[in-house]
Amino acid sequence: MHIHILGICGTFMGGIAQIAREAGHQVTGCDKNVYPPMSDALRANGITITEGYGAEQLAVAPDLWVIGNAVSRGNPLLEAILNAGLPYTSGPQWLSENILTGKKARTVLAVAGTHGKTTTTSMLTWILREAGLHPGFLIGGVPCWGEQSAALGDPQAPFVIEADEYDTAFFDKRSKFVHYRPRIAILNNLEYDHADIFENLQAIETQFHHLVRTMPSEGTIIANAKAPALDRVLARGCWSKLERFDTPFGTPDGWTLAEDGSASLGAEVFGAVKIHMPGRYNELNALAAVAAARAAGVLPQAALKALESFPGVHRRQEVKGEADGCLVIDDFAHHPTAIHETIDGVRGRWPGRRLLAVLEPRSNTMKLGTMKDRLAGALADADAVFCYAGPGVAWSPEEALKALGSHAWATHDFDALVTQVVNAARPGDVILCMSNGGFGGIHGKLLAGLKAKAESRAGA
């Protein structure tokens, strides 16, 4: 089959392209502003990419057009496809029908939740790989064990997927995860996010219950025990085996059985979790991964041992370099809860050092200002805060951070941000940059500025 993917350079659609190519399909695609590293990875796999969405791409004549959720009505190629009456589908539906389900259905392990999906999916994949199961996987980021975010794996082995609640496509407004039909699902946590498509938290809870409804009675749901929104989701009905993690009780092996038949992963296991990504939130990610691996047949002891060598995930507390005695860290945190937890984790990793938090509120939810009133509280534990409000941010970052007083500084000028951070930094500082985008290459610019500052001081 020849498929042509619209929006191929996104992490999810690019992952599908890699899996499809590995499965023997001919794959081509297109995107606006084709960019590496995904474009380089795809071309290295023999995938031809066209810049833009011109209607002339109809001449490619694939068997099927696969439409990414970033493609909307009015897109010239999409309009040409619709006008010509050509067959099309979404990325999640293609993946489900061609890789996950059918006569040779794979055991799907899905990781859902507002926070921690990429890290937990990476941890779970690593555990299964270390156990020799050769899993397939599709991760919404790039794990540090290689430059690949997706792989077909052994067709008989489990498939681990990051189960995003964002909508599927222009014609399918259900969350992507309803297509995956998992046998094992992690519900890591649930808060309000994606304000551009969800009116409120209740709307997201409904989508999560759609996922729960697809689970077989012989399947396993692993849910955070301290997430009220998940309690409401499960109260609507749960037909699968239920296990909880982050509970105040447990047996020596970590699991205990409640009267309703649900199992709980107790707090005792925290002491056994040894990972190189500090912070309680990462311990919870690890616990969820251990529980899911157990449901797939991997003993907890083996899973915990595997996590000791887990190399981490790019853009999660990732050290980008050091200059003038300052560490520059990159992190994907963009929701207030994730920002707070990341600051806490970085403080635990580098105790006693001054922490400068540098934030770009770039997600659609943050640009809308939905979470702006929570920003000051999320950033309060940093020693100094620098906020860059880029294009599309209509609200005032100065007003949002006013409660932090002189510890916070905000601007709409990116170059001024870099200069201000470099000038404020002192040897020994940890500079934590948080954004769900590239942040204008700020990490390299900060390192260059810090190096120049040190050289200037030495030559004075």
Residues 6+ apart with CB under 8 A from 60: 4, 28, 50
Bridge-based pairing state of the strands 26-31 and 108-112: unpaired
| 115 in a labelled binding site | yes
| 419 in a labelled binding site | no
Element (H, E) at 330: strand 326-331
Question: Are 174 and 132 a contacting pair, CB within 8 Å?
Answer: no
Note the pLDDT of residue 395. Answer: 83
**Range with the lowest mean pLDDT among 156-165, 255-264, 364-373, 433-442?**
255-264
Question: Are 233 and 212 a contacting pair, CB within 8 Å?
Answer: yes
Map out the domains of the chain as residue ranges.
2-86, 93-308, 318-459
CATH class of 2-86: alpha beta
Note the pLDDT of residue 183. Answer: 96
Checking if the pLDDT of 101 tops 80, the result is yes
Average the pLDDT over 139-165 and give the result.
89
Pick the residue with more confidence: 159 or 45? 159
Q: What is the Cα–Cα distance from 342 to 279, expressed in whole angstroms?
A: 7
Pick the residue with more confidence: 78 or 103? 78
Pick the residue with more confidence: 50 or 252? 50
188-237 pLDDT per residue, tens: 999 888 878 888 999 999 999 999 999 999 999 999 998 999 999 999 99
- Candidates 57, 93, 50, 59; CA nearest to 77 is 57
Note the pLDDT of residue 257. Answer: 44
Checking if the pLDDT of 454 tops 80, the result is yes
For the ranges 83-97, 244-258, 293-307, 403-417, the maximum mean pLDDT occurs at: 83-97
Where residue 186 falls among pLDDT bands split at 50, 70, 90?
very high
CATH superfamily name and code, 318-459: Mur ligase, C-terminal domain (3.90.190.20)
* Strand partners of residue 255: 265
Checking if the pLDDT of 455 tops 90, the result is no
Can you list the positions of beta strands (E) in 47-105? 48-51, 64-67, 88-90
Pick the residue with more confidence: 127 or 147? 127
Structure pTM?
0.83
Q: What is the Cα–Cα distance from 278 to 342, expressed in whole angstroms?
A: 9
184: which 2 tokens?
A: 């094992």
Cα of 242 vs its chain's centroid, Å: 24
Q: Do domains 2-86 and 93-308 have the same CATH topology?
A: no
* Phi, psi dihedral angles at 76 (to 5 degrees): -60, -40
* Strand partners of residue 162: 111
Can you tell me whether residue 173 is helix, strand or coil? Answer: strand
Note the pLDDT of residue 252. Answer: 37
- Candidates 368, 370, 313, 300; CA nearest to 336 is 370
Average the pLDDT over 129-158 and give the result.
90
Q: What is the Cα–Cα distance from 424 to 430, expressed in whole angstroms?
A: 12
Checking if the pLDDT of 247 tops 70, the result is no
Which residue is it, tokens 């982050």?
A: 246
Note the pLDDT of residue 217. Answer: 96
310-353 pLDDT per residue, tens: 987 888 788 899 999 999 999 888 788 888 888 988 898 899 99
Starting at the edge strand that comes first in sequence, how are the strands of the sheet with 318-323 ordered? 318-323, 326-331, 430-434, 355-359, 384-388, 408-411
Element (H, E) at 278: none
- What CATH number does the domain located at 93-308 have? 3.40.1190.10
Q: What average pLDDT is seen over the chain? A: 89
| 101 in a labelled binding site | no
| 114 in a labelled binding site | yes
277-318 pLDDT per residue, tens: 777 778 889 999 999 999 999 998 899 999 999 987 888 788
Query: Which residue type, as a one-letter code, is found at position 301?
Result: Q
Element (H, E) at 223: strand 220-224
3-57 pLDDT per residue, tens: 999 999 888 999 999 999 999 999 999 999 776 677 888 888 889 999 999 999 9
129-142 pLDDT per residue, tens: 999 999 999 998 87
**Range with the lowest mean pLDDT among 17-21, 128-132, 366-370, 376-380?**
366-370
Checking if the pLDDT of 261 tops 70, the result is no
Note the pLDDT of residue 449. Answer: 93
| 118 in a labelled binding site | yes
Element (H, E) at 30: strand 26-31
